[in-house]
Structure 1
Amino acid sequence: MSPITIAAVKEQAGEIPIHAAIHAQLQSRATRTTKGGKPYFELVFADSTGNFSLKIWSDSPMSEAAETLAEGTVVRLEAEWTQNQYGVNPNKLWWYNLEDAAIADFLAGDPETREKQDRDFAEIRRLCDSIEDPRLHGLCAHFLSQLGDRFRRTAAAKKNHHARRGGLVEHVAQMMRSADALCPVYPELNRDLMLAGVLFHDCGKLWENSYPEDGFAQIHSIHGEMLGHIPLGIELVNKLWNDLVDSVETDEWKGLKPSTEMTRLHLLHLIGSHHGQYEFGSPVLPRTPEAFALHYIDNLDAKMEMIRDAYSQSTEVAPGIYDRVFPLPTNLVKPLAAFVPPPAPPASDEPADEPETP
């Protein structure tokens, strides 16, 4: 049986079981206890398309194997898979460790996901190259040159949206497309600042949600845990900025308007305010048109990804109504299909009647 991806299982599984195999890497294992005192293992498995968690109960035939399975191990999971609003559930589950050749194939990633992320990274480069302000242009180029590889294997979140290796590239590329499209609609927006702000708004996640070069299990970083991605992002941009300021090529920046210091400050404000609210982790609220726009573009792209995932994973509880999928607040309803114009009437082969002669 050929393996399928985690994303495919989420899309295909429902109330009716599907028998399928998955190649996945153990991302984390935790020992937990139900309210009734029953112990179980919670295992999180990941591949290039996403992750899911499985509960292995203490009386399960796989309990002993779960207890000894090391994080980072790549296994073949085979089961009859179902899915409800709480996630994916395996019946008759078993697994075994993959051999070296199969592991190498797995670590190469799903070809479709890899191709999409390659296109998205090329789009990010194209839009960064279109920035006219030499300071922001140079900063983006410096970041992609120094940290492009790490950027390409970072997730946009630990869960909920773009939670996969390379997910940050997908998220940033889509946000940059949105920002580029909105700037002509709202001419008060500074396009150069918007594009640079999108690139850097989550750059601290390179230490909060990064992945190794040879796996799909997210790395736990002490810096990410203790500081979070917003302070890390501000620190990183300051470092990259100072790298450029110290170079001889930036002497010409001294006469540019707006000033170099105000340009740096506005970019840092976008990073600090992009969550939009204090309770969501922003140390400062949006105070400029670009800061408001960036916050809403970020929120929109995250929500659209959650909605896309929810439609692919949830089951219909009634015609056109789907189970609620966390973290969305409600059940989804089947979207309205695009309007299809009626077909044009067939052309007649008969010549038109000649007008009568008076």
Structure 2
Amino acid sequence: MDVFERAFHQTAWGPFGIPIILRAPDARKTEVMLVRVGSSLLTGPVEFITIAQLKQTANETPREAFFYAQLQDCSEKKTKSGSPYLELTLADATSNFSLKVWSNHSQFAELSELPSGSCVRAEGRWSQNQYGIDGADWQMRGLNDSETEDFLRGDPATARKQQQDWDHIVNSCAALTDPRLHALANKFLEDFGERFRRAAAARRNHHARRGGLVEHVSQMMRTASAICDAYPDLNEDLLLSGVLFHDCGKLWENNYPETGFAQNLNLHGEMMGHIPLGIELVNKLWRDLSGSSRASAWATLSPPSDLVRIHLLHLIASHHGTREFGSPTLPSTPEAFALHYIDNLDAKYEMLTMAYEANNELAPGILARQFPLPANPISPLPSFEPSR
């Protein structure tokens, strides 16, 4: 650390009794960063679990486990008798939940001062009742820089899946044969790849998690390729490009920060919506490419470049299928209809998956409704397995 850095750093004791660095790069901002962690809090080995797994498997019998989470919010409230308690909103790449911290908890004071955005390890005995997740004998500690970096990538299973999905998107774009769509897709990945990998596909209904848009687009690409095998007259390059770009406006509407698991609202997303933003982004990328050296060879290509652009924009504009669901125009081409149904299928399939994993069973094989599905989900029929 040089003289300038030392002049703007000081060490103090912060939440969890661990040292924090107060870094003031200028007079307007102070950043709090946890820098040291403790050891295991329970005796003996404790299993790692994601928040989604905790919500899916916890019941009235306490389960010893630890999970990593980011503090999204800490609200101080009062019971009916006037006793204070904290309500923490904790999130990871898979889900989130609220945890109540009663005033007699040993870390009540420290947690009340913990800044939003802090990353922690929570370890204890976890159960679930009608009011949600509850903990006993639990403690938290801050994550160091290395742990935080790993945590923000998501749990290992999610990180592996999203990396595989990302690789599939990259390979699918590299295989596009139309040079205009190939250049457009790869410029998009080069310019906005990191933002793409953080975005969600929705606020809550499906793939509503960090990296969820990558999962959604990748699966839609697999489905699109399969449908093109069944309907060979479909323009596969156009359909795959439509899949890639149909929700590209959600890079602003449903984006996550570089270091967080809470979607940030912004004026572009709120005032424009992802369909107009997607149309504007594709037009901007197309204009940029039109001024490049490679575009001179496109003048003689068939179909004409501007017709290709208009067809791609139509896919973005019409992919919701109806005006009441937000599309400014209705599907008018085979690829537009295909994209709409592929998008709807993947979204609905994800909603059913969420219901099967988490919803209460109202009667044998009948689950509580998963919004916005129109009816109670029914357990699927297992595939027939012939006897050996």
SS of the aligned residue for 2:133 comes to: strand
Q: Which runs of 5+ in 2 are unaligned?
A: 1-45, 79-83
Partner of 2:364: 319
Q: Residue 98 in 1 paired to residue 127 in 2?
A: no
| Residue 175 of structure 2 corresponds to residue 130 of structure 1 | yes
Q: Pairwise mapping of residues 191-340 of structure 1 onto structure 2 (< 5 A)?
A: 191-340=236-385
Partner of 1:52: 96
* Counterpart selection for 2:226 from 181, 192, 196: 181
Conserved 8 A contact 2:75-2:87:
yes
CA deviation map 1:203-247 (0-9, x unaligned): 111112222333323333222122221111111111110111011
Secondary structure of the structure 1 residue equivalent to 2:230: coil
Summarize the Cα distance change of 1:120–1:102 in structure 2 as closer, same or farther, 3 Å threshold: closer
Q: Tell me the alpha carbon deviations over residues 309-338 of structure 1, each in whole angstroms, 9 at most, x when there is no partner.
A: 211112333333333333333332222111
- 1-structure distance, mates of 2:282, 2:375: 38
* 8 Å CA contact 1:44, 1:51 repeated in 2: no
Pairing 1:76–2:121 present:
yes
**CA positional deviation for 1:157:** 1.4
User: Which SS does the other structure have where 1:328 is aligned?
Assistant: coil
Is 1:89 aligned to residue 114 of structure 2? no
| Alpha-carbon offset, residue 143 of structure 1 | 0.8
Greater CA drift, 298-307 or 310-319 = 310-319
In structure 2, the partner of 1:342 is: 387
TM-superposed CA distance for 1:271, in Å, is: 0.9
Measure, in 1, the Cα distance between the counterparts of 2:132 and 2:344.
26
User: Is contact 1:18–1:82 with CA below 8 Å preserved after alignment?
Assistant: no
Which stretch shifts more, 91-100 or 331-340? 91-100
Partner AA of 1:204 in structure 2? G
User: Could you report, residue by residue, the CA deviation over 1:243-271 in whole angstroms, capped at 9, with x for unpaired residues?
Assistant: 11011211121122221111111111111
2:207 to 136, 154, 162: 162
AA of the residue aligned to 2:279:
I
Q: Could you tell which deviates more after superposition, 198-207 or 286-295?
A: 286-295
Residue number in structure 1 paired with 2:58? 13
Cα distance change of structure 1 residues 64 and 271 upon mapping to structure 2, 3 Å threshold: farther
- How far apart are the structure 2 equivalents of 1:261 and 1:9? 51
Give secondary structure in 1 for the equivalent of 2:91: strand
How many angstroms apart in 1 are the aligned matches of 2:129 and 2:350? 19
Deviates more, 1:66-75 or 1:246-255: 66-75
User: How far did residue 145 of structure 1 move?
Assistant: 1.4
Query: In structure 1, what is the equivalent of residue 38 of structure 2?
Result: none
1:172-193 CA distance string (max 9 Å, x none): 0100000011012223421111
Q: Which sits farther off after the overlay, 69-78 or 170-179?
A: 69-78
CA contact 2:62–2:125 (8 Å) conserved in 1: no
CA distance 1:18–1:334, shift in 2 (3 Å): farther
- 1 CA distance for matches of 2:359 and 2:104? 26
In 2, Cα distance between the equivalents of 1:26 and 1:16? 26
Q: Indicate the larger mover: 87-96 or 156-165.
A: 87-96
Distance 2:166 2:342 in 1: 19
Cα distance, 1:2 vs. partner? 3.7
State TM-score, norm by structure 2: 0.77
Query: 3-state SS of the aligned residue for 1:183?
Result: helix
1:277-335 Cα offsets, whole Å, 9 max, x none, are: 22222222222221111111111101111111211112333333333333333332222
User: Which whole-Å deviations, capped at 9, do the CAs of 1:25-82 have from their partners, x for residues lacking one?
Assistant: 123567999xxxxx9987543212x222427599997987776543212233445332
Q: Aligned partners of 1:168 and 1:175: how far apart in 2?
A: 10
Within 2, Cα distance between the matches of 1:286 and 1:65?
55
- Cα distance in structure 2, aligned partners of 1:218 and 1:167: 12
The separation in 2 between residues aligned to 1:60 and 1:335, in whole angstroms, is: 46
Equivalent AA in structure 2 for residue 135 of structure 1: R
1:121 matched to 2:166? yes
Partner of 2:28: none
Deviates more, 1:289-298 or 1:68-77: 68-77
Q: Is the 8 A contact 2:200 2:250 kept in 1?
A: yes
The number of residues matched between the two structures is 337
Deviation for aligned residue 1:107 = 2.7
Partner of 1:356: none
Decide whether aligned partners of structure 1 residues 305 and 31 sit closer, same or farther in structure 2, where only a CA change above 3 A counts.
Answer: farther
Amino acid across the alignment from 1:209: N
Separation in structure 2 between the aligned mates of residue 158 and residue 79 of structure 1, nearest angstrom: 30
Distance 2:114 2:318 in 1: 41
